[in-house]
A and B are shown apart, each in its own frame.
Chain A
């Protein structure tokens, strides 16, 4: 039994549509037993009445307003009433009838057609089953730095198996190469030592070092990720007189040089000058991985992904004002290596040119950062890094050292940052507001020219110049973003969906981002973000998905197994076993309907939008045809529906001869449906689909164009003058629609 619920929109539509006539009319339709009229079914006041009205109905037709307003209340009420949620048809009486057709009798006549079509639709459509499925419960973290390791650890704590893919031969990342962290000058030793051992031995984490992601294939349960591993051969045993190796630096031949902690010799200092954040790796033994693992490609299946690929230093080479390349000009990161007791010099700060301790050190801020020519953004961490290093030198290495920091603005916002800044100033570190203009060799030191805050040109001499280089995205993050379908910001960092409310999620569902790969940040922020990313990833894997099963059903009596369905499917959801009938993967199938409309023998039907469901509506509409011509509109349920709504919202008017039939996608529309409409009396046909290349189901826009080109020629040859028009439209192109429909109506009258 079908029930019809009328909603008058708070009686606002009473003078636009003849509800009495419609109620009497639907009683004449087959299967309709009861009609109920309500004032505003979308309000909470009518909620109980709506549930009550629905009870006992097998099928439901609702005559109300746009689905964007009333579909949710209807579905909730149906659930409460114990009816299958989707077994109803909605006629939008407001935006698609009353607002666009101002003549009451015309509006009522169109309403009759649409009601009859809706009754036919619910009769022909089948209720859908809901299936749930689980995602893979293994996670992937790309990047073995502090963010990646934190995320991996958190995920493992939550019971997920975690794969960590790291490009370099060891985990630890940039942080493991820095001995002291601000604001409290904690030793990262604690992280490199016990923490590394903990992470390395933590059950549930599998590390794949010297590996890069090569291929990513998305499927409904997650990702199939193929990575390739190229282990490096290194002799990491302790050397007599040198001790353990502390660092490996990639060399020009693509191999790695080992660095031992030898004190401030010239050779060691050369290593420091060659090191660059983002490519050298701490080989502190605990962080060292089983680098002899077999080479080759492997594929893992994971349910969620955290991208934490970190950063690399801005390279100031070749820009004269910073003098990088001159003797004794190093970066802040290289200074960190000099300060590291487990670094090449054993923690002794020395000038690369003569291995002597520098007495006068100048640090220059904003190297590459906040500079329209290089990186327009602030790298956030460099102010504090310079303050920390200046303080460490003053307090722990050489209190007599003269340290000057040339800055633009000191950005010390964070817990304990400002007091560290003040403490450093008190130690005698000199902070000068100014911009560097030039560096040149001067004696055995450097001469620096700068413009101070008052615009005056001044000079400084120094034994060593330290450049506070900014952060930029690490090499390869662009390729990785493409593989995982993640967007990049203008600066090349991974882009979040929304910088405020969704700053860990990306446009690729299941892919989360953390650490400096999302933009410059310090260690605490990276750790916090990584924890959040791990939580989101875990949550994503835990969420069981619900999906309406709306894949086509095969009528085996009509199937000749020609295989066309399998070939047209844009989602590769169809398989045909030998001597069997087509089988559908309910997860892969997106119910676009292309196979249904392409099946020459009509052996396929989608439960809710099938061939027969469309034909039933077409025939219902045309059986109500009176003297007025009818233009059938086959309309895409996505953009097309919105277009029809927008026409109503904007109170545009158009001919009431236009009667819409919604299809899932233009892919779902068969020419046989269209011809059936023309045969049954349609005077014109308009197909409203998505704009070129914007089809939600990949093929609909191109397909319908191909169909229309050929049918137009056929009509011409057969001297059939029924006009057919395809309109590529977004949800807002109302004036284009009304103009095109006007022209079509003219042709209908001529024909």
Chain B
């Protein structure tokens, strides 16, 4: 019986819910494993010793989480980063564009809330949101927002059988059934602005699709159902920086991009899940030190 830990750090528990949404596989997984720690499901205070597999959701935003992840690493055989936040920083990583104190002030002083004016002090914030790999060695990443249940099942059952999981790392485009004609609309659109041709590549139609820079293996559910890929599975193949890779590709296609949207839109589209691990944020971090 393998001892499994399931924990959520700076994230929203969605991935943990995905992890227990294994359906029939859950029976198999639970029969072969012992869920020794899962605060979302069972109340527990202390992190137990001798963890075989630690499944961690969420990134690191404060010193408390930093301590926890370090403690987990020490006590675990295998650490799995589950979901975009743990793997790349996720959506909270976009907060790295603003300095911490400014964010706290915005949230607690200038937003609707009950305790206006009281900035909590019981936790010591870090300057930025981090993926867990910034603090500890991560053995496997199950990307996505939320991750595919099949990926979670595959990882756990493969590990249980004593083997090392291998992941598909191709582009979302490789999974995408849409037809590519090689001709691009000169103007970019967001998906709510127009109804796309259901059979044709969304990027070619001018919709801001992150597929080419995003790891496939998900089966391209978003483009298939008429939505642009948001990039939740992070960079694929040799993409060093999801956002920059897409800017290079799209300026190559259309020459000019800027006038289409505001910079906030671009950042949100290009780095929705990976800003915290981008070269851009690395430069910013170093420059601002």
Q: In the bound complex, do residue A560 and residue B212 qualify as a contact, i.e. CB atoms below 8 Å apart?
A: yes
Q: In the bound complex, do residue B252 and residue A597 qualify as a contact, i.e. CB atoms below 8 Å apart?
A: yes
User: Which chain B residue has the least Cβ–Cβ distance from A673?
Assistant: B248
Contact of B252 among A559, A568, A676, A709 (CB under 8 A): A568
Q: In the bound complex, do residue A601 and residue B180 qualify as a contact, i.e. CB atoms below 8 Å apart?
A: no
Q: In the bound complex, do residue B258 and residue A600 qualify as a contact, i.e. CB atoms below 8 Å apart?
A: no
User: Which chain B residue has the least Cβ–Cβ distance from A718?
Assistant: B284
A555 to B237 CA separation, bound complex (whole angstroms): 11
- Chain B hits for A670, CB < 8 A: 244, 248
Q: In the bound complex, do residue B238 and residue A706 qualify as a contact, i.e. CB atoms below 8 Å apart?
A: no
- Chain A hits for B204, CB < 8 A: 567
Assess whether B154 is interfacial by the CB under 8 Å rule. Answer: no
- Chain A hits for B97, CB < 8 A: 717-718
Which has the most chain A C-beta neighbours within 10 Å: B247, B254, B256, B281? B247
Q: In the bound complex, do residue B241 and residue A672 qualify as a contact, i.e. CB atoms below 8 Å apart?
A: yes
Given A560-B170, A560-B173, A567-B182, A721-B249 contact (CB < 8 Å) = no
- Chain B hits for A598, CB < 8 A: 248-249, 251-253
Q: In the bound complex, do residue B283 and residue A564 qualify as a contact, i.e. CB atoms below 8 Å apart?
A: no
Q: In the bound complex, do residue A671 and residue B256 qualify as a contact, i.e. CB atoms below 8 Å apart?
A: no
Which has the most chain A C-beta neighbours within 10 Å: B171, B183, B216? B171
Q: What is the minimal beta-carbon distance from B179 to any residue of chain A, in angstroms? A: 10
Docked complex: A593-632 residues within 8 A CB-CB of B: 594-595, 597-603
- Chain A hits for B251, CB < 8 A: 598, 703, 706-707, 710
Contact of B213 among A597, A600, A707, A717 (CB under 8 A): A600
Q: Which of the 9-residue segments B62-70, B189-197, B261-269 touches chain A?
A: B261-269
A22 to B48 CA separation, bound complex (whole angstroms): 61
A563 to B209 CA separation, bound complex (whole angstroms): 14
Q: In the bound complex, do residue A706 and residue B255 qualify as a contact, i.e. CB atoms below 8 Å apart?
A: yes
User: Which chain A residue has the least Cβ–Cβ distance from B287?
Assistant: A720
Assess whether B246 is interfacial by the CB under 8 Å rule. Answer: yes
- Chain B hits for A599, CB < 8 A: 248-249
Contact of A563 among B170, B173, B257, B280 (CB under 8 A): B173
Q: In the bound complex, do residue B267 and residue A714 qualify as a contact, i.e. CB atoms below 8 Å apart?
A: yes
Assess whether B199 is interfacial by the CB under 8 Å rule. Answer: no
Q: What is the 8 Å Cβ interface bit string for chain A, positions 695-710, against chain B (1 contact, 0 not)?
A: 0000100110111011
A600 to B248 CA separation, bound complex (whole angstroms): 7
Q: In the bound complex, do residue B283 and residue A720 qualify as a contact, i.e. CB atoms below 8 Å apart?
A: yes
Q: What is the 8 Å Cβ interface bit string for chain A, positions 538-577, against chain B (1 contact, 0 not)?
A: 0000000000000000010111111110111000000000
Q: In the bound complex, do residue A563 and residue B237 qualify as a contact, i.e. CB atoms below 8 Å apart?
A: no
Q: What is the minimal beta-carbon distance from A635 to any residue of chain B, in angstroms? A: 19
Given A597-B248, A717-B97, A705-B282 contact (CB < 8 Å) = no
The interface residues of chain B, by DSSP majority, are classed as helix
A189 to B266 CA separation, bound complex (whole angstroms): 77
Docked complex: A412-426 residues within 8 A CB-CB of B: none
- Chain A hits for B241, CB < 8 A: 672, 675
Assess whether A48 is interfacial by the CB under 8 Å rule. Answer: no
Q: In the bound complex, do residue B266 and residue A714 qualify as a contact, i.e. CB atoms below 8 Å apart?
A: yes
A710 to B170 CA separation, bound complex (whole angstroms): 27
Assess whether A722 is interfacial by the CB under 8 Å rule. Answer: yes
- Chain B hits for A709, CB < 8 A: 256-258
Q: In the bound complex, do residue B254 and residue A706 qualify as a contact, i.e. CB atoms below 8 Å apart?
A: yes
A711 to B284 CA separation, bound complex (whole angstroms): 13
- Chain A hits for B106, CB < 8 A: none
User: Which chain B residue has the least Cβ–Cβ distance from A675?
Assistant: B279
Q: What is the 8 Å Cβ interface bit string for chain B, positions 224-256, against chain A (1 contact, 0 not)?
A: 000000000000111111001111110111111
Q: In the bound complex, do residue A601 and residue B255 qualify as a contact, i.e. CB atoms below 8 Å apart?
A: no
Q: In the bound complex, do residue A671 and residue B248 qualify as a contact, i.e. CB atoms below 8 Å apart?
A: yes
Q: In the bound complex, do residue A722 and residue B237 qualify as a contact, i.e. CB atoms below 8 Å apart?
A: no
Assess whether A716 is interfacial by the CB under 8 Å rule. Answer: yes
Assess whether B28 is interfacial by the CB under 8 Å rule. Answer: no
Assess whether B288 is interfacial by the CB under 8 Å rule. Answer: yes
User: Which chain B residue has the least Cβ–Cβ distance from A575?
Assistant: B182
A319 to B216 CA separation, bound complex (whole angstroms): 77
Q: What is the minimal beta-carbon distance from A600 to any residue of chain B, in angstroms? A: 4
- A-B CB proximity, top 8 nearest: A560-B171, A598-B252, A600-B245, A601-B237, A562-B173, A713-B263, A602-B238, A706-B256
In the assembled complex, 28 residue pairs joining A and B whose CB atoms fall closer than 8 Å, in A order, are A555-B238, A558-B237, A560-B172, A560-B212, A560-B216, A560-B237, A562-B171, A564-B212, A568-B252, A568-B253, A597-B248, A600-B212, A600-B249, A601-B171, A671-B244, A671-B248, A675-B241, A678-B283, A679-B282, A679-B286, A703-B252, A710-B247, A710-B257, A713-B258, A718-B97, A718-B280, A719-B284, A720-B284
Identify 15 new A-B residue pairs, CB closer than 8 A, beyond the known A563-B182, A676-B279: A559-B237, A560-B236, A561-B174, A568-B253, A599-B248, A601-B171, A671-B248, A672-B241, A672-B245, A678-B283, A679-B282, A679-B283, A707-B248, A709-B258, A710-B263
Residues of B bordering A, CB below 8 Å = 97, 170-174, 180, 182-184, 201, 204, 211-213, 216, 236-241, 244-249, 251-258, 263-264, 266-267, 279-284, 286-288
Residues of A bordering B, CB below 8 Å = 555, 557-564, 566-568, 594-595, 597-603, 667, 670-672, 675-676, 678-679, 699, 702-703, 705-707, 709-711, 713-714, 716-722
